[in-house]
Chain A
Amino acid sequence: MRFINFILLLSIPPICLAHKINIFATVEGNKIYTQSYASDGGKIKGGEIEVYDKSGNKLLSGKTDSLGEFSFVIPKKDDLRIVVIGGMGHRAETIVSADELPEVKKEIAVKVEKNERYKEAPKTETAVIDTTLLERIVERVVDEKIRPVLRLIAEQKQEKIGITEVVGGIGYIIGIVGIIAFFMKRKNNV
Chain B
Amino acid sequence: MHIAEGVLTVPVLIGGASITVTGTAIGLKKIEYKDMPKIAVLSSAFFVASLIHIPVGPTSAHLILNGLAGIILGWAAFPALLLALFLQAILFQFGGLTTLGVNTATMATSAVFCFLIFKKLVEVQSRFWNFVGGFLTGFLSVLLASFFVAISLALSGEVFMPVAKMIIIVHIPVMIIEGILTGFVILFLKKVKPELL
Contacts and interface: CB of A to CB of B under 8 A. Distances in A.
Interface string A146-190: 000000000000010100011011101110111011001100100
Given A9-B170, A173-B87, A181-B36, A19 B2 contact: yes
Nearest to B35: A181
Contacts of A10: 57-58
Contacts of A177: 36-37, 39-40, 43, 83
A170 B95 CA distance: 18
A45 B58 CA distance: 10
Contacts of A188: 33
Size bin of chain B's contact surface: 35 or more
Interface string A79-92: 00000010111111
Contacts of B105: none
Interface in B121-174: 149, 152-153, 162-163, 165-167, 169-170, 172
Contacts of A15: 59, 166
B153 A88 contact: yes
B5 A17 contact: no
16 contacts: A9-B56, A9-B166, A10-B58, A12-B166, A17-B56, A17-B60, A92-B4, A161-B51, A166-B48, A168-B91, A169-B91, A170-B44, A173-B87, A177-B36, A177-B39, A188-B33
Interface of B: 1-8, 31, 33, 36-37, 39-40, 43-44, 47-48, 50-51, 53, 56-62, 83-84, 87-88, 91-95, 149, 152-153, 162-163, 165-167, 169-170, 172
